[in-house]
Amino acid sequence: MKPPTRRYEYETDGAAIYRQSFATIRAESDSSHLPADAEKVAVRMVHACGQTDLTHDLRITDDFMTATRAALQAGAPILTDAHMVASGVTRPRLPRDNDVLCLLRDERVSLLAKEFGTTRSAAAVSLWGDRLDGAVVAIGNAPTALFHLLELMADGGPRPAAVVGVPVGFIGAAESKDALAAYEPRVPHLVVRGRRGGSAMAVAALNALAQDDEIGASVR
C-alpha cells in the first residue's frame, strides 16, 4: 500500500514523540511536592490529560509507590470501578499476569444497587469481597464507588494495599477524594484533588506503576 503524500512537518518516530512529550511535561510542571519515586507516575498522568497543572492537585502518599508495586509483584489483583479502566491496563506490563477486574456487569449488581439504595458502581464494590484484601484499587469514574469502599473498610471489611482514587465529576468527586485522604487508619493512596480525574488518568497511573521503563513501556 502506498503511503499518502506527506504534506505536513511532524514527528513520526514514536519513541521520539514520547521523549519530547515527557521532556515538555517535566519542563512545564512541578512535581517537587511529590515523593521522588512517584515522579514518573505524575508525568504519565499529565501525558494522559494534556494538563501540566495537574500536578498542583496531585497528592501521593510516601508509602504509595512501595505498597502498590509490592502488591503487584506479589500477584495482587487490580480492582476497578469502570470497564474503561480495566480495558486500558496494558496486561503485558503487569509483573505477575495480575487479574484486572471490574464487576459492573455482574448480574447481581442491579439488585444490590436497589437493595442498598445506591449506584451500580458502588454496589459492584461490595462484590469484590475477600479479593479486596491486599488488592490494588483504581477508581477513575464513580465517586460513589470510592465512598462505598471507605464505608466498607470503616465497617471492618478487607483493606486494599493501595488506592488510586481519581473519580471525575461535579457531584461528590472532590468530596470522595478528600474523604480518602482523611481516612484513618490511612491507606496508601494517590488522589487528584477537586473535580478532575477520569479513567484515562487512572489507567496512566496503573501502567506507570506496572513497569519502570518509561519509553519502552509506552511504544508498542
Q: Is 110 exposed, middle or buried (0-12, 13-18, 19+ CB in 10 A)?
A: exposed
pLDDT digits (tens, 9 = 90+) for 5-39: 999 999 999 999 999 999 999 999 999 999 999 99
- Tell me the residue range of the domain where 170 lies: 14-210
- The predicted pLDDT at position 220 comes to 45
pTM (two decimals): 0.94
- The predicted pLDDT at position 212 comes to 74
Q: Is residue 216 part of a domain?
A: no
Q: Is residue 1 part of a domain?
A: no
The angle, 0 to 180 degrees and rounded to 10, between the axes of the packed helices 199-210 and 39-49 is: 150
Residue with cell 462484590: 127
CATH number at 39 reads 3.40.50.10230
Rounded Cα distance, 120 and 200, in Å? 21
DSSP 151: H
Query: Which member of 33, 47, 56, 83 is catalytic?
Result: 47
Q: Is residue 3 part of a domain?
A: no
Q: Is residue 217 part of a domain?
A: no
Q: Is residue 5 part of a domain?
A: no
Sheet strand arrangement including 100-101: 58-60, 189-192, 162-165, 136-139, 78-80, 100-101
Q: Is residue 219 part of a domain?
A: no
pLDDT digits (tens, 9 = 90+) for 64-96: 999 999 999 999 999 999 999 999 999 999 999
- Three-state DSSP class for residue 138: strand
- Three-state DSSP class for residue 100: strand
> How confident is the prediction for the chain on average, in pLDDT?
95
Q: Based on the structure, what is the number of domains in the chain?
A: 1
Q: Is residue 4 part of a domain?
A: no
Show Cβ contacts of residue 84 under 8 Å, excluding neighbours closer than 6 positions.
140, 141, 199, 203
Q: Is residue 2 part of a domain?
A: no
Is residue 83 part of the annotated active site? The answer reads no
